[in-house]
């Protein structure tokens, strides 16, 4: 029983060596497909990590109605956000900070009175997620005298919506890409099957089962796909090692992302398994028509 799988693997490997054009073409095609899939998956994963990192740097501001009790509002915010750093910011202080932030353009505020902006209470929320920031902002709307609550992540919500839609669209496109690749590779593998058609017919005439005839071809596709998936996984790891430090220097939040975050091992295993699956499907499509012959 053990000899049959070993013999099938040996026959598959021999066929790959004897048909270098088919092997290189099939492996290369699957490599490009699974590498593209891995790049899209890694990009979406990093976008989600960036969303969390950027949300953790936000400060939630509770803007008050005119005449509201600033001290009472600060106490209410502290009660609703226990463990968070709460700062009461009068309108005059807010205007001073705005001018400081404008730098050389601060002259635009000449003649603007302190009553031009409202009093506010700011809450520092380091390490908070976007969902947690959204939930805390909803709770802070109950602060007495609160006119508006801004957690500075409106653009992050738009980015979150985009990433969510991109994930759905990417999944559909990746499935189509995988299927198209399998069909394309099956046409290449069909050349190898056609070259051995006489061998297949003879084996069927002497009573060989479809499983015995088709196993080497299926294994050949799996081996090509696994080889392509392994090369794609190695390429993804290499790209991460080369590009992540540069991205970390350009984007502050990325500096906190641990090594390997862009290409975690489940993704690499998925790329490897995806390549093998595409190869199996391609070889199955290639051999199916010959096994159906009487």
Reported as a single tens digit per residue, the pLDDT across 176-185 is 888 888 888 8
pLDDT tens digit sequence for 130-141: 777 778 888 888
pLDDT, tens only, 142-172: 888 888 888 766 666 677 778 788 888 888 8
Across the chain, what does the average pLDDT equal? 78
Q: Note whether 37 and 72 are same-domain residues.
A: no
Do both 109 and 235 map to the same domain? no
Domain boundary among 152, 187, 217: 152
Residue 170 burial (C-beta neighbours within 10 Å; 0-12, 13-18, 19+): middle
Tell me, what's the pLDDT at 239?
85
What's the average model confidence in pLDDT over 287-291?
71
Please, which pLDDT band fits residue 5 given cuts at 50, 70 and 90?
Answer: low
Q: Residues of 133-161 as b/e, b for ≥16 C-beta within 10 angstroms? A: bbebbeebeebebbeebebbbeebeebbe
One domain for residues 140 and 237: no
Same domain, 164 and 182: yes
Helix axes of 20-55 and 210-250: crossing angle, nearest 10 degrees: 40
Residue 151 is given by DSSP the state -
Residue 228 has pLDDT above 90, yes or no: yes
Residue 86 pLDDT level (bands cut at 50, 70, 90): confident
Residues 141 and 258 in one domain: no
Angle at 264 between CA 260 and CA 269, to 5 degrees: 135
Q: Are residues 80 and 166 part of one domain?
A: no
pLDDT given for residue 226 in this prediction: 92
What band does 1 get if pLDDT is binned at 50, 70 and 90?
A: very low
Whether the predicted pLDDT of 2 surpasses 60: no
Q: Output the CA–CA distances (angstroms, integers) from residue 233 to 108, 247, 279, in the order listed.
A: 54, 20, 16
pLDDT band at 31; cut points 50, 70, 90? very high
Whether residues 168 and 286 share a domain: the answer is yes
pLDDT at 249 over 90: no
Q: Are 274 and 232 in contact (CB under 8 A)?
A: no
Residues 166 and 239 in one domain: yes
Overall average pLDDT of the 249-259 stretch: 57
* pLDDT of 125 above 80: no
Please report which confidence band the pLDDT of residue 60 belongs to, taking 50, 70 and 90 as the band edges: confident
Higher pLDDT pick, 175 / 55: 175
Q: How confident is the model at residue 104 (pLDDT cuts 50, 70, 90)?
A: low
* pLDDT above 90 for 231: yes
CB 42 within 8 Å of CB 90: no
* Domain identity same for 113 and 226: no
b/e sequence 3-15, b meaning 16+ C-beta within 10 Å: eeeeebbeebeeb
| CA atoms lying within 13 Å on the CB side of residue 32 | 11
Domain limits for position 253: 3-54+157-291
Judged against a pLDDT cut of 90, whether residue 232 lies above it is answered with yes
Task: Based on the fold, state whether residues 131 and 166 are members of the same structural domain.
Answer: no
Rounded distance, CA 229 to CA 52, Å? 30
The residue with greater pLDDT, 3 or 242, is: 242
Of 107, 126, 152, the one marking the end of a domain is: 152
Predicted confidence at residue 81, as pLDDT, reads 85
Look at the pTM and tell me if it is higher than 0.75: no
Cα–Cα distance for residue pair 65/155, rounded to 1 Å: 25
Q: For the chain, what is the domain count?
A: 2
Whether residue 178 is found in the same domain as residue 264: yes
Q: Are residues 265 and 194 in the same domain?
A: yes
Of the three residues 152, 179, 205, the one that is the final residue of a domain is 152
CATH number at residue 102: 3.30.70.3040
């Amino acid at each position: 029983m053990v000899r049959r799988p070993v013999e099938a693997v040996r026959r598959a490997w021999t066929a790959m060596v004897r048909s270098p054009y088919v092997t290189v073409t099939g492996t290369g095609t699957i490599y490009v497909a699974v590498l593209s899939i891995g790049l899209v998956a890694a990009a979406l994963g990093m976008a989600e990590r960036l969303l969390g990192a950027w949300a953790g740097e936000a400060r939630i501001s509770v803007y008050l109605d005119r005449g509201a009790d600033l001290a009472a509002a600060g106490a209410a915010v502290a009660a609703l956000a226990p463990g968070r750093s709460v700062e009461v910011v009068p309108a005059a202080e807010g205007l001073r900070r705005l001018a400081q932030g404008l730098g050389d353009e601060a002259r635009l505020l000449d003649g603007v009175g302190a009553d031009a902006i409202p009093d506010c209470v700011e809450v520092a929320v380091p390490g908070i997620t976007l969902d947690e920031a959204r939930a805390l902002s909803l709770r802070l709307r109950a602060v007495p005298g609160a006119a508006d609550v801004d957690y500075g992540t409106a653009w992050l919500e738009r980015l979150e919506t985009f990433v969510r839609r991109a994930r759905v669209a990417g999944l559909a496109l990746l499935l189509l890409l995988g299927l198209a690749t399998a069909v394309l590779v099956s046409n290449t593998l069909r050349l190898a099957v056609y070259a051995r058609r006489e061998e297949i017919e003879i084996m069927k005439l002497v009573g060989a089962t479809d499983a015995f005839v088709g196993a080497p071809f299926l294994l050949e596709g799996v081996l090509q796909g696994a080889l392509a998936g392994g090369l794609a996984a190695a390429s993804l790891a290499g790209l991460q090692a080369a590009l992540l430090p540069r991205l970390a220097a350009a984007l502050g939040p990325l500096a906190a992302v641990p090594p390997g975050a862009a290409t975690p091992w489940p993704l690499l295993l998925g790329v490897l398994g995806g390549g093998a699956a595409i190869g199996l499907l391609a070889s199955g499509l290639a051999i199916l028509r010959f096994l159906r012959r009487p």
